[in-house]
Amino acid sequence: MENVVPARLTDDQIRKEMDGLQGWSIVNGKLHKDFAFADFIEAFGFMARAAIHIEKMNHHPEWFNVYNKIRVELVTHDAGGITQNDVALARTLNSLEK
């Protein structure tokens, strides 16, 4: 099966999508969000829950965890920018933040 690279979103498309992505911004051409939790266990639990969705989507984030904080950056490297896959994953991560 051939790997189809999703289309890179235009700047206008990204701006429209950002309206529905609470807490996300664009940093260095990537969707970016800093998550903060009560402690390491909650942060790790979030990452574990997210990993299930991430693997199903086959779209893996750049993320970094220290204690109760997680920094997430989303970009589709094969497309050379932000795609609908990144937006969908950002929405999924927001839904798991509770």
Give residue-wise pLDDT tens across range 54-76.
Answer: 999 999 999 999 999 999 999 99
Which residue type sits at 13?
Answer: Q
Using the predicted structure, report yes or no on whether residue 87 has a pLDDT greater than 90: yes
**Bridge-based pairing state of the strands 30-36 and 62-66:** unpaired
Q: Indicate the pLDDT class of residue 79, thresholds 50, 70 and 90.
A: very high
Burial class (CB in 10 A: 0-12, 13-18, 19+), 10: exposed
d(CA 80, CA 77): 5
CA distance 78 to 75: 9
Query: Percent of the chain at pLDDT above 70?
Result: 97
